[in-house]
Amino acid sequence: MSEHPLLEVTNLHAAVEGREILRGVDLTVRLGEVHAIMGPNGSGKSTLAQVLAGHPAYQVTAGSVRYAGKDLLALTPEDRAREGVFLAFQYPVAIRGITNAYFLRAAVNARRKYRGQEELGPVEFMDVLAEKLQTIGWDDSYLTRPVNEGFSGGEKKRNEILQLAVLEPTLAILDETDSGLDIDALKTVAQTVERLRRPDNATVVVTHYYRILTHLQPDVVHVLAGGRIVKSGGPELALELEAKGYDWLREGTAAA
């Protein structure tokens, strides 16, 4: 474990359309760790994920985010991606006319170029892809289909995980990737994340449900409520939430 955390969120406040959603989030993630952020609907989980990825509709009104020693908030969304941040979208976007293979190669090459590496040609890239496809149990028919166009909800989520596997980010943020998945798809997603886990990367899993955490071993579990992290603990906290729900925490916030 390195001395400096990979991600250090301090007193983060963020708003969308003038409405404040995050009200002072503090979060520290170190290399090699998997964090789970749980919380009721509307607590700000997705906002946190989007703010970290750089969604232009969200305004950061206070606080800071340091990532690998840099001011993350000063970077464009594309530079965050090139620096190794990856957000698996809760609602992946369809792109008409562009095949998955073309899109994936464009993404990989954008990062390679940024890092001064040679860009991959279509043939070389196919070799890389073939292996990744196996990881998520897909055949190559998904590569020639337009990005997420006509994909089922589950297929879209899997496609996010395929991108995760191909891009090999340093910091992966999964925004409710588990919701709407059947148990097999959920296992595939969790196993892929587990397989990609290394001492030099980290994962933040944003989820409403305990389910996915039975297949993933989080090091730290946080509860986000009312735009702040109100409780953090080990994996046992997830179990407790599963048993007791979120209401007791909300009351706790009100009392505090």
Comparing CB distances to another protein, the nearer of 108 and 205 is 108
Comparing CB distances to another protein, the nearer of 4 and 115 is 115
In angstroms, how far apart are the furthest CA atoms of the chain?
61
Comparing CB distances to another protein, the nearer of 62 and 75 is 75
CA distance 138 to 136: 6
Comparing CB distances to another protein, the nearer of 177 and 220 is 177
Asked if 154 touches another protein (CB under 8 A), the answer is: no
Asked if 16 touches another protein (CB under 8 A), the answer is: no
CA distance 161 to 155: 10
Comparing CB distances to another protein, the nearer of 11 and 59 is 59
Q: Which stretch binds another protein (CB under 8 A): 33-41, 70-78, 178-186, 245-253?
A: 70-78
Asked if 92 touches another protein (CB under 8 A), the answer is: yes
Comparing CB distances to another protein, the nearer of 145 and 187 is 145
Asked if 103 touches another protein (CB under 8 A), the answer is: yes
Asked if 206 touches another protein (CB under 8 A), the answer is: no
Q: What pairs with residue 86 in β-bridges?
A: 172
Closest CA to 153 of 173, 176, 180, 132: 180
Asked if 69 touches another protein (CB under 8 A), the answer is: no
Q: Which stretch binds another protein (CB under 8 A): 16-24, 88-96, 134-142, 181-189?
A: 88-96
Comparing CB distances to another protein, the nearer of 67 and 86 is 86
Count Cβ atoms below 10 Å from residue 72 Cβ, excluding itself. 22
Which sign does the torsion angle of CA 83, 131, 157, 106 carry?
Answer: positive
Closest CA to 152 of 84, 88, 94: 94
Q: Which stretch binds another protein (CB under 8 A): 38-46, 81-89, 127-135, 210-218?
A: 81-89
Contact 203, 232 (CB under 8 A): no
CA distance 182 to 150: 18
Question: Exposed, middle or buried: residue 32 (CB in 10 Å: 0-12, 13-18, 19+)?
Answer: middle
Asked if 129 touches another protein (CB under 8 A), the answer is: no
For 152, the token pair is: 């089922």
Considering only residues 54, 63, 218, 226, which one is a binding residue for another protein as defined by CB under 8 A? 54
Q: What pairs with residue 176 in β-bridges?
A: none
Asked if 226 touches another protein (CB under 8 A), the answer is: no
Count Cβ atoms below 10 Å from residue 150 Cβ, excluding itself. 9
Considering only residues 43, 100, 159, 163, which one is a binding residue for another protein as defined by CB under 8 A? 163
Where along the sequence are the contacts to another protein (CB under 8 A)? 53-56, 76-78, 80-82, 86-87, 89, 92-93, 95-98, 103, 106-107, 110-111, 114, 146, 163, 167
